[in-house]
Structures are given as structure tokens and as C-alpha cells.
Homo-oligomer: A and B are copies of this chain.
Amino acid sequence: MSNQRPIGVFDSGVGGLTVAREIMRQMPDERIVYFGDTARVPYGSKSRVTIIRFVRQIVRFLETKKVKAIAIACNTASSYALDTIEAEVDLPIIGVVKPGARTAIRTTVNRRIGVIGTDATINSGMYPQYIHSLAPDIEVFGKACPLFCPLVEEGMLHDFVTEEIAHRYLTELKGRDIDTLILGCTHYPLIRSLIGKCMGPGVQLVNPAYETAVSLRDMLREKDLLAAPLPAGSEPHHEFYVSDGAEKFENFANSILPYDIRKTQVVDIEGYSMEKING
């Protein structure tokens, strides 16, 4: 297996770019093939069966791009589909849930952790399940925040309406005396300061995007899959694919990535088989 093959990164839309950005920062020699499922975004309100079907199609697509590993840069897809897909593919595959959960376990002192995310991520119970499997004594409190994504996509990052909504969503968690809060949706780091202000200085925020890039690097190193250093002055050639709206995607991407992307390609993702991979 060639180490020069790219890493596949995907999300329901643009949110996973916060994960891609961390991978670029931490592993500047790696090439990324990014897929955003913008035709079917958001995943957060959809069912497990549907999410698994979507993820199977995307993994099939990434396999055609000869990726050496896959990062599921979406909390909902990680929650619902990682275990199923992991058993179906031969590639190393990583989600955002487990790295985020592990960091939260290391961070908490009073053994009380909060998790915020989409309806699907919270309903899946993945964060508490995984945390309890490693640290049964920790109490986990989840809260779905369905309006945060649309507010972020409206650009209302520093707005009293977003503060008011945050206040409503987070009051319950504040009453739980947590000392650690997992930002369980890839959009939330973009309103991190507002969430931090609402929770107060006694609560540490955990950003799974950062932790996922760290874990991915460890995994690639362990499997001897890290890319060779690039010649000085050259940069990896990343590729971006979406299932709809390439231009809109590029505008958002260019506002959060450290360099401008061009030529985002549209993929007919429904054309990829929904059958079990390797099965």
C-alpha cells in the first residue's frame, strides 16, 4: 500500500472542513480527498438506516479515489455508521466521536461531562455509550441543539439571537455541574467562544475535530502509512467533491480554509451502490 495515497474525509456538508483543516495543519504532507454530501445535508435529523445507506455510497466513492484511510468528519455519521462500516471495509477508518470522547475523559476532573450535537447524534447515545465503556463512573449529559447549524450557516456567529438560543439550550447542562463539554457537531467550533461564554470559565470545551486529526496521525504512523515529506516549497494537491452546489461549497470552504480551493466537482453519489461493502 502506497503511503502517497490520499486520505478520504467526508461529511454531510461543509462542517467536516473543520476536520480537514486540522488534518492539513497537523499533517501538511498529506493529500486529502474531501466529499461533502450537500445534496442530502443535513444528516442530523435523519434515521440510522438512512445514514448507513448514505455512508456506504460515500465509502464506495472514496474507494474509487484509492484512499489509504477514511475520516468520518461528521458526528451523526460517526455515531450511526462507524461500527457498521468498519466491519465492512479493509481500510483504516476513524470517526470524530471516539477521539472527542477520549479527550473529554482525560479532561474531566469531577467526572461529569456534557455533550451537545444534532438530534441524531444525541439520540444515538454514542457518546455516553463509548465514555461508559472506558470510564463507567463518569456521568454524561446530552443535549440536542438543532438550531445551531442553521444559525452558523446564516453566518450569525456573533449575534444576540444565537446567544439567546445557546442560553436556552445550555441552561439545563449548566444545572448539571459539568466541568467538560464536547462540541459534538462539526459546526459548533465556529461558535465556540459564544458557547464558552455561556457555560462560564469552569467548563472546558472539547473540539473533536482537533482530537480526530491527532488520532488519525497516530493511526497512520502505527500502520506505517504516513506520507513521505514533500519537497520544500511544494504543497499537497487536495481534491474536493460534493453532491450538489459546488459554488456555494467553495464560498464557505474558502472562508474557513487557509487557502482558496477551486474546481470542486459534483458527484452523482446516489449512483454508488448501497449494498453492503465487500458483502
A interface bracket (residues with beta carbon within 8 Å of B): 20 to 34
Would you give the shortest CB distance from A275 to chain B, in whole angstroms?
Answer: 12
Residues of B within 8 A of A161 (CB): 161, 164-165
Nearest to A271 among chain B residues (CB) is B274
| Closest chain B residue to A120, Cβ basis | B245
Give this chain's copy count.
2
Q: Interface residues of A: mostly helix, strand, loop or mixed? A: loop
A154: contacting residue among B38, B49, B146, B154, CB under 8 A = B146
Contacts of A245 in B (CB 8 A): 45-47, 50
Instruction: Digitize A216-243: 1 where CB-to-B-CB distance is under 8 Å, 0 elsewhere.
Output: 0000000000000000000000000001
Q: Is A125 engaged at the interface, CB distance under 8 Å to the other chain?
A: no
Q: Give Cα A47 to B40, complex, Å.
A: 11
Which residues from B are CB-within-8-Å of A153? 146
Name the one of B46, B47, B270 contacting A270, with C-beta atoms under 8 angstroms.
B270
Contacts of A234-275 to chain B: CB distance below 8 A: 243-245, 248, 270, 274
Report if A147 contacts B (CB, 8 A). Answer: yes
A42 — nearest CB in chain B belongs to which residue? B42
